[in-house]
Structure 1
């Protein structure tokens, strides 16, 4: 099986035979618990996700006002809005005591 490591090399114009110069690309294997620690990013933007979920739920509820005559669409819009708000509130509630 082929290796998954990144290796950048430059040959010396002899068809790949002879010495090979290894180029340092700065890429290092990241720790599994903080894969982007080198870039200063350690988690998801949870406040942004909660804000987007609330905006999306309000947008769905605003779509009730429209040019449709049936109420089946309204039920689907309300159900998806309630489901979105449920998962947003549940996520906030589960993470409320964690250090951020």
Structure 2
């Protein structure tokens, strides 16, 4: 009788990476991009507060812009990558 189990080939040896059996051995760029956007939005939300000076605002804004720039670069490079 034939087995009904599906054997998935991911190109990663389960002996080397035990989590590959569950499909956790690859990076997920989309999830990283969503995390970067959420972190940048959180930094922008922290600008609203009860602090007196605005020096903190500049650092929060710079950090958020760096994160958004990294995400935009990641999206741009991902779209222009060769998919062979």
Answer yes or no: same fold by TM over 0.5. yes
After TM superposition, give the deviation of residue 37 of structure 1 in Å.
8.8
Show the counterpart of 1:52. 35
For residues 96 and 36 of structure 1, the distance between their equivalents in structure 2, rounded to whole angstroms, comes to 31
Unaligned runs of 5+ in 2: 1-13
Please tell me whether Structure 1 or Structure 2 has the larger radius of gyration of its CA atoms.
1
Runs of 4+ in 1 over 4 A off after TM superposition: 35-38
Root mean square deviation, CA, Å: 2.2
Question: Where is the helix percentage greater, Structure 1 or Structure 2?
Answer: 2
Cα pair distance change 1:38/1:44, threshold 3 Å = closer
Cα pair distance change 1:43/1:71, threshold 3 Å = same
For residues 75 and 46 of structure 1, the distance between their equivalents in structure 2, rounded to whole angstroms, comes to 28
| TM superposition score normalised by structure 1 | 0.58
